[in-house]
Amino acid sequence: MKDDVVLVSCSTQYVGPEGEPLYVVSSDGDEVRRSLLHDGVDSIRGLTHHGTAMFRRDTYFDAGEYRPQFRFAQDLDLWLRMAQRGRIAFVPEVLYEARFEPNAISGVHREQQIESARIALALRDAPADQQAALLQRASEIVPVRAANARSNADGFYFLATALKKTGDRRWRHYAWRAVRLNPLHLRAWGRLLTGR
């Protein structure tokens, strides 16, 4: 963290609830910064995981800290503002392990997370006189649903799919958990019945 580098991240190994290796996410600092400064919600790239972020205290405060209005996307909102202040660097090695849980915010409150990201991107591009209204909109986003069997079933199906791709036979365990939670989970049934 020297010169104009304001944010550092590393590669992340994602694992399942029982420590099963799922996949590794790596990135490039220049590409991530360009994305944060210019891309829309459908293509934006950020850090490999929130927990990989390292930054200087003074840069954090200069950027405006985590904003409470962005309950579902505080990290992205902060990365957008930090990217405007300098470069982002990535350590290519896996130095962080993140556990995927079916009832995490990204799965349970996905709609609110996407809406929060849309507002954060609108703030990035908005003139100063429109920013207060956008911050107010962000603060009005509330959870509309808690974790339920259906959302958890989708999470277990995701785990089954990731493990199947790695050749890990434990994928069946998660596919069965998905159909137990949601007997009408057609994709999980299809994976179980075809083995693909």
Tens digits of per-residue pLDDT, 130-175? Answer: 999 999 999 999 876 555 667 788 889 999 999 999 999 999 999 9
Percentage of the chain beyond pLDDT 70 is 95
Structural tokens at position 51: 């927990």
* Domain contains 183: yes
Q: What's residue 173's pLDDT? A: 94
Cα 133 versus chain centre, distance: 25
In degrees rounded to 5, what are phi and psi of residue 10?
-145, 175
- Domain of residue 173: give its range: 149-191
Q: Is 48 part of any domain?
A: yes
Q: Which tens digits make up the pLDDT trace of 32-44?
A: 999 999 999 999 9
Mean per-residue pLDDT over the chain, rounded: 92
Distance between CA atoms of 145 and 75, rounded to whole angstroms? 21
**What is the DSSP secondary-structure string of 69-95?**
T-TTTHHHHHHHHHHTTSEEEEEEEEE
On whether both 83 and 35 belong to a single domain, the answer is yes
Q: Total structural domains in the chain?
A: 2
Residue 74: exposure state from Cβ atoms within 10 A (0-12, 13-18, ≥19): middle
> In which element (H, E) is residue 154 found?
helix 149-166
> How high is the pLDDT of residue 109?
74
* For range 42-70, the mean pLDDT: 95
pLDDT of residue 122: 97
Domain boundary among 97, 119, 139: 139
**Structural contact between residues 89 and 8, judged by C-beta atoms closer than 8 angstroms:** yes
CATH number of 51's domain: 3.90.550.10
Check residue 95 and give its pLDDT: 97
Residue 196 lies in a domain: no
Are 105 and 179 found together in one domain? no
